[in-house]
């Protein structure tokens, strides 16, 4: 899964390496809360994604119970521990990317919260260091 970036107004630009041979999954925008929170969130949740300039269709997940093991100082809860909640949002799942350089654009919105991230990804050839 790609790292999550929280952006209120400005776009974020990220550079990174994707693991060769592994599928890629990421939310356009997502929420972890209660069932009622997800129902409200999904009323306005939308977004787009493109890989190397080609649009990608997201799947909508209206609410699934998930368990999270949080690391200390994380940007969501700021504390460590294990907790459960309802996760929801439009997500994209892609097969493993071919070796080389890729651009991934993610745009998401729900109510007054917006995400805008551009990734410059490099996928190493299998067996390359």
Give backbone dihedrals phi and psi of 14, rounded to 5 degrees, phi first.
Answer: -125, 145
| pLDDT of res. 15 | 66
Q: Are 4 and 16 in contact (CB under 8 A)?
A: no
Query: Could you tell me the residue ranges of all domains in the chain?
Result: 12-123
Token look-up 């939310």 returns 27
Q: What is the mean pLDDT for each group of 10 consecutive residues in the chain (129 residues)?
A: 39 67 92 95 98 97 92 85 94 93 95 92 77
| pLDDT of res. 2 | 46
| pLDDT of res. 52 | 97
| pLDDT of res. 7 | 34
12-123 CATH: 2.60.40
Question: What is the rounded distance in angstroms from the CA atom of residue 25 to the CA atom of residue 45?
Answer: 18
């Amino acid at each position: 899964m790609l790292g999550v970036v929280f952006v209120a107004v400005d776009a974020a630009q990220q550079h990174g390496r994707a693991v060769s041979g592994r599928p890629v999954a990421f939310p356009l925008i997502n929420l972890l809360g209660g069932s009622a929170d997800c129902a409200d969130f999904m009323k306005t949740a939308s977004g787009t994604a493109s890989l190397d300039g080609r649009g990608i269709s997201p799947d909508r997940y209206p609410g699934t119970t998930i368990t999270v093991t949080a690391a200390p100082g994380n940007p969501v809860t700021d504390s460590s521990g294990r907790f459960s909640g309802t996760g929801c949002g439009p997500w994209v799942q892609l097969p493993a990317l071919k070796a080389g350089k890729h651009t991934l654009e993610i745009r998401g919105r729900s109510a007054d919260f917006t995400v805008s991230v551009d990734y410059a990804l490099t996928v190493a050839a299998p067996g390359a260091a």
